Chains A and B, each alone.
Chain A
Amino acid sequence: MLARPNPSVVIFFLILLTGLVALPFVAGTYPIKLMTRIIILATFVLSLDLLIGITGLVSFGHGAFFGCGAYAVYFVSPESEAANAFVALGAGIALGGTAALVVGAFATLTRGFYFIMVTLAAGQMMFSLFHDTDIAKGSDGAFVNVKPELAFHGTSLLDFSDWHQFYYVCLFVLVAAYFSLFGLVRSPLGRVLQGIRANEVRMSALGYDTYRYKLAAFTVAGMLAGLAGALFASIDGFVTPELFNWHQSGLAIMMVVLGGAGTLYGPIIGAFAYALLEELLKSASIVGPLIADHWRLGTGMTLVLAVLMSPDGLAGFLNWKRPRAIRASSGGPQGENITIRAMHVSKALSTERLSKNFDGLRAISDISIRFAANRVHAIIGPNGAGKTTFINLLSGAIAANAGRVLIDNRDVTGWPAHRIARAGLGRSFQLTNIFSKFSVRENCALAAQSRKATMWRLLDSPYEAPEARAVDRALSVAGMAERGDLVAGEMSNGEQRQLEIAMLVASGADLLVLDEPLAGMGPEETQRVVALLRDLAHDHTIILIEHDMDAVFAVADTLTVLVQGELLAHGRPDEIRANQAVLDAYLGREAKAGAVA
């Protein structure tokens, strides 16, 4: 999760800010113009970090929204008088945001490489639109004849053609943008965005509609880029289709990564560092005419070296790693705080003739079954029996070809995973699936937050206290109360599996669907988790897949046996043990060896 910058970063930026505020008093027009340009660039690059560093969306078309903002100023500026500054900047935000909303609606459907390409293509389309058609004077670019100003009853309050005034406006926008984004990223909404970057599948299983969140981030970033673009148009009063070009987007990505993605302040450093380096290499009086003529060679080589030598970006130099809290000794029995809790009627789940084919192969055929509330149900069967496919159908991870899934008689067939999660079904995955860079407590907090997942939540209150209680309760139920501050990825596999269960409890799910919760655990850990599951049945319905037969018979109220996608048997453990078909088909060898009986 995004932490407050450490003191060395704060001091660095205080010095930088003081210098920037003082600059107009000591410097001439050229340095002020240069700095204005860099500050605007930094604002633009900062907006991209919300996508790349925070939400994990590598957008290669961000320059398009910058260009939209710039052209918006051209569109709202009258031929021979100044536009209202608020109208001009507002138009930049609006056009940048609208374009981002439209592009994002398509782009955020895709992932990874495809996302990069779709955003790149969108940017190039807008480039072509402004370059090849004459909606804004085509490839030659267009002039904003009079720069925006703010006048009240004829007195000019703010005039963008005054270099000093404009400089301070830009500086104010950058500072305000940083603090707004910082607040946004640390808000409940921002925590969800960081969760999506860390592990989108998990977020969606926790009940978040990740598409909407990604689209929101994309739009906000587009608005800020539009604002930066609107300011940019006021520098020279000139806009050109080149602003949309993929080179702009590429440079912006480069500055984000150069500075340090995901820190918010890093990209600001990146923008300053790159722009100043470029300026330095271009000045023949300092580096000599030969280098100045070929400054791109110098910047290119510097960047290549920067990537190879510092994977964390320049911010990595400032923000050294804080020593981690000493890891609590793990594995000790922590079962004492499992308390007897009041019964709470949970939800039942049933399927009706559920079927799934993969390319004509029947993975699940015609399974009708009812899992009663407040019981532990185990699904067993040989490898390839379709157990995981079956629970993927229950949780909405894949869609069934036929049949229905009902939660408490409510038909949830065909719902997307996040909606089923909101209906009370929480699941874990065969491979441990947590946010490994977040602390244990942060993992559970993200889960707890999904209970009231109204998207535009910027404040913790009024749910802060109930959520903290839910987290505390989940941690103590799972026996992890003392391990809340550990980084999840640094715990043992067994502890991570326990954390997954704690997250499900914190999310308020009634139905817990667990895929091999005991996999890879030692006997002691197994015993603890078996006790935990029995205890959880007080207020949950649990469906689990498990291979450890001793544990299964110890924990389960009912057993369901799947063989080759078909329901072979369903009943109490003693019934299953006596079932000849099960013995033949599945337990046969083990039964003879005495392992089961």
Chain B
Amino acid sequence: MSLVLIQLLNGLQSGLLIFLAASGLTLVFGILGVINLSHGSFYMLGAYLALTFTGIFGDVFLALALGIPLAFLGGFLIEFLFIRHLYNRDHLQQVLLTFALILVFNEFQQVVWGSYPHSIPAPSYLADSVRLTEGLSYPVYRLALMAICLALALSMVLVIQKTRVGRLIRAAESNREMVEALGFDSRMIFRLVFAAGTALAATAGMLAAPIESAYPGVGDRVLIVSFVIVVIGGIGSIRGAFVGSLLIGLADAFGKVFIPQFSSIIIYALMALVLVVRPTGLFGRA
């Protein structure tokens, strides 16, 4: 019983965390129409930024305060240098360029941080475990992480639904020409969205660093799982990404316990199932 409860918490926690990365991916694909394979690299670089900044400031949350704006800036720059040339090209070229960016980022990581895994300490005030029931305790940091992810998810929905920028983003998604005809600079909207997507992936990486440490290729799994979530939830749908993330998180957590040999297959099986029932994802438009 306590095993079920633990895995339930673990599943929710990893689902909420991966939601940050997946929502960034679905935003970028839904609005810019760009398949961004380098999304996982931003997650990885986030984890390494957390390593460096935590080393300097001694606290992963201070690392976040500096890391998020930096990631936003980085995304802004990458959009300006590379991505903006891809909007009118076909998906193949996007796949190719962002794949090449993975090679570059991986090597950048090797040059700067080397190939050994590094662990990152959780803040000392959150390092304890809290007793939930008799014989069941759970690390406080993970609970805090869930709260932070939820807060970020909520604020993202608020920004998109309630603010002027959010309204522009939604408008640009449904009809880019019209937004331009109304006098808005859609290039700037795109750049902001890409930067936000990058920042979301990097934030996920930074938050996850004290749990899973920083190592080369840490972003690979995140990338693929995020894609699976985007497909399950429906392309461009934040709500879909949220439901998909929780589904995947829970399926993975319980799969690891009950069918360990096939646990890595279970998320793909889930995706296949969803596609058979709803070919455009749970919340996708036909």
**Residues of chain A contacted by B265 (CB below 8 angstroms):** 125, 128-129
**Residues of chain A contacted by B262 (CB below 8 angstroms):** 128, 132-133
Which residues A207-231 have CB closer than 8 A to chain B? Answer: none
**Residues of chain B contacted by A38 (CB below 8 angstroms):** none
Select one of A58, A125, A308 contacting B92, CB under 8 A: A58
B268 within 8 A of A: yes
With A132-B264, A133-B261, A294-B111 given, is the CB distance from A120 to B227 under 8 Å? yes
Which residues A108-129 have CB closer than 8 A to chain B? Answer: 109-110, 112-114, 116-118, 120-122, 124-125, 128-129
The CA of A132 and the CA of B256, in the complex, are separated in Å by 12
Taken residue by residue from 62 to 89, chain B's Cβ proximity to chain A (1 for < 8 Å, 0 otherwise) reads as 0000000000000000000010010001
Which residues B5-42 have CB closer than 8 A to chain A? Answer: 29, 35, 37
Closest chain-B Cβ to A336's Cβ sits at a distance in Å of 43
The CA of A110 and the CA of B281, in the complex, are separated in Å by 12
Would you call A297 and B107 a contact (CB within 8 A)? yes
The CA of A121 and the CA of B280, in the complex, are separated in Å by 16
The CA of A124 and the CA of B265, in the complex, are separated in Å by 8
Would you call B99 and A118 a contact (CB within 8 A)? no
Select one of B111, B235, B275 contacting A110, CB under 8 A: B275
A288 within 8 A of B: no
Which residues B257-280 have CB closer than 8 A to chain A? Answer: 261-265, 268-269, 271-272, 275, 279-280
Taken residue by residue from 102 to 117, chain B's Cβ proximity to chain A (1 for < 8 Å, 0 otherwise) reads as 1110111011000000
With A246-B224, A253-B99, A303-B103 given, is the CB distance from A116 to B91 under 8 Å? yes
Would you call B91 and A113 a contact (CB within 8 A)? yes
B96 within 8 A of A: yes
Closest chain-B Cβ to A86's Cβ sits at a distance in Å of 33
Would you call A250 and B91 a contact (CB within 8 A)? no
Least CB separation from B82: chain A residue: A304
Closest chain-B Cβ to A295's Cβ sits at a distance in Å of 8
Taken residue by residue from 289 to 303, chain A's Cβ proximity to chain B (1 for < 8 Å, 0 otherwise) reads as 000001011011101
**Residues of chain A contacted by B253 (CB below 8 angstroms):** none
Would you call A300 and B261 a contact (CB within 8 A)? no
Least CB separation from A127: chain B residue: B264
Would you call A257 and B96 a contact (CB within 8 A)? yes
Would you call B228 and A121 a contact (CB within 8 A)? yes
Question: Which of B111, B264, B268, B272 neighbours the largest number of chain A CB atoms within 10 Å of its CB?
Answer: B268
Would you call B279 and A110 a contact (CB within 8 A)? yes
The CA of A311 and the CA of B111, in the complex, are separated in Å by 30
A276 within 8 A of B: no
B171 within 8 A of A: no
Question: Which of B91, B100, B106 neighbours the largest number of chain A CB atoms within 10 Å of its CB?
Answer: B100
Select one of B92, B107, B279 contacting A253, CB under 8 A: B92
With A258-B96, A307-B100 given, is the CB distance from A117 to B228 under 8 Å? yes
With A110-B279, A132-B261, A297-B104 given, is the CB distance from A250 to B37 under 8 Å? yes
The CA of A166 and the CA of B103, in the complex, are separated in Å by 32
Select one of B29, B93, B279 contacting A311, CB under 8 A: B93
Would you call B82 and A308 a contact (CB within 8 A)? yes
Would you call A261 and B227 a contact (CB within 8 A)? no
B97 within 8 A of A: yes
B95 within 8 A of A: yes
The CA of A445 and the CA of B99, in the complex, are separated in Å by 39
Closest chain-A Cβ to B110's Cβ sits at a distance in Å of 7
Question: Which of A121, A122, A296, A297 neighbours the largest number of chain B CB atoms within 10 Å of its CB?
Answer: A121
Select one of B29, B92, B106, B269 contacting A113, CB under 8 A: B29
The CA of A71 and the CA of B85, in the complex, are separated in Å by 40
B101 within 8 A of A: yes
Which residues A269-310 have CB closer than 8 A to chain B? Answer: 294, 296-297, 299-301, 303-304, 307-308
Would you call A300 and B35 a contact (CB within 8 A)? no
Closest chain-B Cβ to A328's Cβ sits at a distance in Å of 31
Closest chain-B Cβ to A303's Cβ sits at a distance in Å of 4
The CA of A29 and the CA of B85, in the complex, are separated in Å by 44
A45 within 8 A of B: no
The CA of A261 and the CA of B107, in the complex, are separated in Å by 27
B200 within 8 A of A: no
B231 within 8 A of A: yes
Would you call B104 and A300 a contact (CB within 8 A)? yes
Main secondary structure of the interface of B (DSSP, over half): helix
The CA of A301 and the CA of B275, in the complex, are separated in Å by 36
A106 within 8 A of B: yes
Would you call B110 and A303 a contact (CB within 8 A)? no
With A113-B35, A118-B275, A132-B261 given, is the CB distance from A301 to B95 under 8 Å? no
Would you call B100 and A300 a contact (CB within 8 A)? yes
Closest chain-B Cβ to A304's Cβ sits at a distance in Å of 5
**Residues of chain B contacted by A512 (CB below 8 angstroms):** none
With A121-B228, A257-B96 given, is the CB distance from A300 to B275 under 8 Å? no
Would you call B97 and A114 a contact (CB within 8 A)? no
A198 within 8 A of B: no
Least CB separation from A118: chain B residue: B275
Taken residue by residue from 132 to 148, chain A's Cβ proximity to chain B (1 for < 8 Å, 0 otherwise) reads as 11000000000000000
A254 within 8 A of B: yes
Would you call B235 and A124 a contact (CB within 8 A)? no
**Residues of chain B contacted by A253 (CB below 8 angstroms):** 92, 95-96, 99
**Residues of chain B contacted by A294 (CB below 8 angstroms):** 107, 110-111
Least CB separation from A126: chain B residue: B265
Would you call A117 and B261 a contact (CB within 8 A)? no
Select one of B104, B263, B272 contacting A121, CB under 8 A: B272
Would you call B268 and A307 a contact (CB within 8 A)? no
A192 within 8 A of B: no
Closest chain-A Cβ to B227's Cβ sits at a distance in Å of 5
**Residues of chain B contacted by A246 (CB below 8 angstroms):** 224
A501 within 8 A of B: no
The CA of A113 and the CA of B236, in the complex, are separated in Å by 12
Would you call A304 and B110 a contact (CB within 8 A)? no
Would you call A114 and B275 a contact (CB within 8 A)? yes
Closest chain-B Cβ to A549's Cβ sits at a distance in Å of 32
A52 within 8 A of B: yes
Would you call A296 and B103 a contact (CB within 8 A)? yes
Would you call A122 and B268 a contact (CB within 8 A)? yes
Taken residue by residue from 237 to 271, chain A's Cβ proximity to chain B (1 for < 8 Å, 0 otherwise) reads as 00000000010001001100110010000000000
With A122-B268, A254-B96 given, is the CB distance from A117 to B104 under 8 Å? no
Would you call B96 and A301 a contact (CB within 8 A)? no
A-B contact pairs, 29 of them (CB 8 A): A58-B95, A60-B95, A109-B279, A110-B279, A113-B29, A113-B231, A113-B235, A114-B279, A116-B95, A117-B228, A117-B271, A118-B271, A120-B224, A125-B268, A128-B265, A129-B265, A132-B261, A253-B96, A257-B96, A261-B92, A294-B107, A297-B104, A299-B100, A301-B100, A301-B104, A303-B99, A304-B97, A304-B100, A311-B89
Residues of chain B touching chain A, judged by Cβ–Cβ distance below 8 Å, are: 29, 35, 37, 82, 85, 89, 91-93, 95-97, 99-104, 106-108, 110-111, 224, 227-228, 230-231, 235, 261-265, 268-269, 271-272, 275, 279-280
